[in-house]
Amino acid sequence: MDDTLDSSLRQPLSSSNRTRVRRNGTAVKFTLISLTFQFLLIVLFLVLTEYGDHSLPPQAVAAQARLTGSNKTTAGSEQPVNEVSIYYPMFQDVHVMIYVGFGFLMTFLKKYGFGAVGYNFFIAALMTQWGTIVTGCLNQIYGEGHDHIELSIQTLVTSEFAAAAVLITYGAVLGKVSRLQLLVIGILEIVFYSINEMIAIEFLKYADAGGSIIIHTFGAYFGLALSRVLYNQKSLDNPKEESVYHSDLFAMIGTIFLWMYWPSFNAALVAPDYVAQHRSIINTYYSLAAACVTTFALSPVFQRKGSKWRLSMVHVQNATLAGGVAVGTASNMSISPWGALLIGCCAGALSTVGYAFLTPFLTKYTKTHDTCGVNNLHGMPGILGGIAGAIAAAHADVNKYGYDGMFNLWSSRAPEKNSTEHMTLTNLGVKFDAGEGRTAKAQAGYQIAGLAVGLAIAIIGGIITGFIVRWKIFDPPTREQMYDDEDYWEVPHEEYSEDIEAGNVNNMEEKDDKL
């Protein structure tokens, strides 16, 4: 676009400028901090990362294997597996969910579309880099002894999963934080997220393929705790916290891309166990279908006015997705297709009821305002998903999964080294790595423990982060700046804002309609 356009846009700005110079230096800080952080990331990548084996020539892989004595020779063997075919299509689906899905889902606010899709874009692009480093470092400490963080398509997926948790948190405080606050929230949350993930992988060893606990529950309750700390009377009853007809349609772009690609989200990292991955796709698909139907069925009940039972776009945009969240942990388990449908129904109903009753209740009585209702979309369905996973784990046996499948899912259920069971299975010709010999019931206990630990770290992390970012130095927005792109983005036809400032609400609403 020509800059002549830009200059013509600036003219109305100069008048509004005089009246609204309230903050100073915010953007300088934002520019400096984000540039510095990006340069820091380049240095960290230089020092800490290298291409994974699948991006290196076989000779280099073999040479390194000789040096480190690791088991890399298999990766450099004669017939390399095409990892791109296995991981890339699902990675791209997850990628679409992060940038189009989350980004457009949040555009429902009439005056905050640029902030929704734009900040989502910025924060996701930054957090995937930061996530690569932080999760990579923690894996290094307890990991298999590579001398660098090795990058592969799986790394991209795990980095985007970390970013997803931050974006869920953003949903809770959408429109109520400055971009500087958001940047700080993201940087801190990734650290808490990675600690929780490390505990899951290294210590509790619970299964959570779709991240019901690790991503959704974590992101949601981190966000709610954060929102509670940031709470002040300003954020209530803001007339800008509304949608218009076309902003609801933009939000549907986000909803539907999230909904469609959710099976990839739950199944992406289940490969190369194709049996479990196939199951994960089917379970997620049917759970989402049931959640969608249940949401449409129940939504009008809560929006009725006399004989009019209307559908709510809030429910359709959000509760339909709860089926994907709730089936996450159990998606690669053998829960039967009808079990997936049942989970989807419960999740859709729980989420719809949450939007109807719980969100206003939380705002009013617990002072926890939740712009996108992430408690209903990610929080409660995530907990439901954690419980469903524990139930499935409690009923897992070798008839349903085979030894391979079961030990893939829960490595700790494999017999301990030198145990009688270990020898028996080895004699039967089963190949596996030694585990901890957990029973099904014990594994279910660890699943629940994982849920509890995740909730605790999320809430503590959210509170700590909240107390940090509410400092004035991070320029929290004023009431007028909330849910409004006006002061943060070059918005076409800025004369609108004059009316808003004049408090002429009728006039403002008419103008809004025009948008």
* Eight-class DSSP state of 429: T
CB 290 within 8 A of CB 322: no
Closest distance between its own copies and the C-beta of residue 141, in Å?
A: 20
- Does residue number 327 form part of the binding site for its own copies (CB under 8 A)? no
Q: Which listed range, 193-201, 202-210, 216-224, 368-376, lies at the site for its own copies (CB under 8 A)?
A: 368-376
Closest distance between its own copies and the C-beta of residue 214, in Å?
A: 22
Return the residue of 72, 95, 422, 438 that touches its own copies, per CB under 8 A: 95
- 63 CB contacts (<8 Å, ≥6 apart)? none
CB 99 within 8 A of CB 120: yes
Closest distance between its own copies and the C-beta of residue 24, in Å?
A: 5
- Does residue number 85 form part of the binding site for its own copies (CB under 8 A)? yes
Q: Using CB atoms within 10 Å of the CB of residue 333, give its burial: 0 to 12 exposed, 13 to 18 middle, 19+ buried.
A: buried
Return the residue of 51, 142, 203, 471 that touches its own copies, per CB under 8 A: 51
Closest distance between its own copies and the C-beta of residue 455, in Å?
A: 23
Select 134 or 153, whichever has its Cβ closest to its own copies: 153
What is the SS3 assignment for 515?
Answer: coil
DSSP 104-168: HHGGGSTT-HHHHHHHHHHHHHHHHHHHHHHHHHHHHHHSS--SSEEE-HHHHHHHHHHHHHHHH
Return the residue of 45, 70, 234, 468 that touches its own copies, per CB under 8 A: 45
Closest distance between its own copies and the C-beta of residue 282, in Å?
A: 5
Select 5 or 456, whichever has its Cβ closest to its own copies: 5
What is the SS3 assignment for 305?
Answer: strand
Interface with its own copies in residues 431-460 (CB under 8 A): none
Q: Cα separation of 207 and 150, whole Å?
A: 23
Select 106 or 200, whichever has its Cβ closest to its own copies: 106
Nearest to 267 by CA among 209, 225, 308: 209
Select 196 or 481, whichever has its Cβ closest to its own copies: 481
- Does residue number 226 form part of the binding site for its own copies (CB under 8 A)? no
- Does residue number 88 form part of the binding site for its own copies (CB under 8 A)? yes
Return the residue of 215, 333, 356, 393 that touches its own copies, per CB under 8 A: 356
- Does residue number 66 form part of the binding site for its own copies (CB under 8 A)? no
Closest distance between its own copies and the C-beta of residue 274, in Å?
A: 5
Return the residue of 286, 407, 446, 474 that touches its own copies, per CB under 8 A: 286
Q: Cα separation of 294 and 499, whole Å?
A: 42
- Does residue number 38 form part of the binding site for its own copies (CB under 8 A)? yes
* Eight-class DSSP state of 377: I
Q: Judged by CB under 8 A, how many residues of this single chain contact its own copies?
A: 176
- Does residue number 282 form part of the binding site for its own copies (CB under 8 A)? yes
Q: Which listed range, 195-203, 206-214, 363-371, 439-447, lies at the site for its own copies (CB under 8 A)?
A: 363-371
What count of Cα atoms within 13 Å lies in the side-chain half-sphere of residue 412?
19
Select 287 or 447, whichever has its Cβ closest to its own copies: 287
Q: Which listed range, 206-214, 284-292, 382-390, 442-450, lies at the site for its own copies (CB under 8 A)?
A: 284-292
Select 199 or 362, whichever has its Cβ closest to its own copies: 362
Q: Cα separation of 466 and 56, whole Å?
A: 43
Q: Cα separation of 246 and 257, whole Å?
A: 17
Q: Cα separation of 352 and 1, whole Å?
A: 43
Torsion of the alpha carbons at 298, 346, 329 and 311, rounded to the nearest 10: 0
Count, residues in the chain? 515
Select 336 or 419, whichever has its Cβ closest to its own copies: 336
- Does residue number 156 form part of the binding site for its own copies (CB under 8 A)? yes
Interface with its own copies in residues 173-202 (CB under 8 A): 179
Return the residue of 19, 73, 77, 82 that touches its own copies, per CB under 8 A: 82
Closest distance between its own copies and the C-beta of residue 117, in Å?
A: 5
Interface with its own copies in residues 14-33 (CB under 8 A): 14, 17, 20-28, 30-31
CB 53 within 8 A of CB 150: yes
- Kindly give the interhelix angle for 153-172 and 83-96, rounded to the nearest 10 degrees: 10
Closest distance between its own copies and the C-beta of residue 294, in Å?
A: 6
Select 2 or 433, whichever has its Cβ closest to its own copies: 2
For the chain, what is the largest distance between any 2 Cα atoms, rounded to a whole number of angstroms? 84
What is the SS3 assignment for 182?
Answer: helix
Nearest to 294 by CA among 311, 270, 306, 274: 311
Interface with its own copies in residues 117-136 (CB under 8 A): 117-118, 121-122, 125-126, 128-129
Q: What is the token pair recorded at 260?
A: 């469609």
- Does residue number 256 form part of the binding site for its own copies (CB under 8 A)? yes
- Does residue number 360 form part of the binding site for its own copies (CB under 8 A)? yes
Return the residue of 324, 379, 382, 405 that touches its own copies, per CB under 8 A: 405
Q: Cα separation of 110 and 4, whole Å?
A: 27
Select 396 or 469, whichever has its Cβ closest to its own copies: 396
Q: Cα separation of 480 and 30, whole Å?
A: 20
For residue 24, give Cα distances in angstroms to 250, 371, 497: 33, 27, 20
Nearest to 129 by CA among 197, 190, 52: 190
* Eight-class DSSP state of 470: T
Return the residue of 193, 261, 446, 474 that touches its own copies, per CB under 8 A: 261
Interface with its own copies in residues 295-314 (CB under 8 A): 296-298, 300-301, 303-314
Closest distance between its own copies and the C-beta of residue 448, in Å?
A: 25
